[in-house]
Chains A and B, each alone.
Chain A
């Protein structure tokens, strides 16, 4: 992507995000958030984030690899345990990247 299109992408993402942030503050008193939508929104983070994680671990170089040779998967499982226990981004990265580099050296 060129420099200009990168900035347009950021601005487009930001404009939509601002609309989401302002949405029900703007609509207050005019329109209530429907119950079904409230229920759906609750599942957005779990669903989207899992959809970003699983392919990244199982297709490390663009091809499917479910084996002990896949160090992205192995380090990802280790990092995943830390993520599960701590829910902390920094610790997950520290442990996961350390495992990743250690496995690369093996």
Chain B
């Protein structure tokens, strides 16, 4: 038992270097929520319920544009499809864990918790990898939630006339460039972005869903093409 706790604390320590990036992102999510007209409880509550910053910002941007609720829902799910990759990669380490222990940490699984854990597992495998993941995920979650509450308080101080909605596309750009690691991903971004511009007039922002799907298909085709070219 004692060793398991040590594993948990090792994960918590592993998460420390990444916390300076977690705090501003959580603040931004809450401040943006206030900016589109939510009250502070809704703004902080959004982070508690969803716990997925990029999809929260997407919902908020669409909310400010008056999108249909189904489009907001599907957009959030599409953005969060990446969690299935993390789920598959973490599954072998969590397979023998009881649900009552692993489910709360699966609920707060984040890009950062996944990144910290996988980086550790690939350099030196901890004795209790599940505990390491719990420590990292729990630390990031606690930091995220405290920052979200602070952001909800700060957000009410920022006047709407500042045009803070512009922070949405700005933050998406930083996340987008972090996700673009090779040429097929560039193709996915160009096609996704291009189709979204062309279909902007579609009702209920449905063009966004279409653009996302076509961008993904274009990325896969570009990857196939690059592989065939490399093979020939």
Residue positions of A touching B, CB distance < 8 A: 1, 3, 5-7, 9-14, 16-18, 20-25, 27-29, 33, 36-59, 64, 72, 75-76, 79-80, 82-84, 86-93, 96-97, 100-101, 104
Contact = CB atoms under 8 A, between A and B. Distances in A.
A21 to B, nearest CB: 5
A1 B69 contact: yes
Contacts of A49: 54, 79, 172-173, 175-176, 179, 189, 192
Interface range on chain B (Cβ under 8 Å from partner): 35 or more
Contact of A52 (B103, B109, B164, B169): B169
Contacts of A36: 220
Contacts of A46: 176, 179-180, 185-186, 188-189, 192, 215, 219
A14 B54 contact: no
18 contacts: A1-B69, A6-B42, A13-B77, A17-B55, A20-B81, A45-B176, A47-B192, A50-B189, A50-B193, A51-B192, A52-B58, A53-B173, A56-B168, A83-B174, A84-B173, A87-B178, A89-B24, A92-B174
Contacts, number: 266
Interface string B55-91: 1001101010000010011011111111111111011
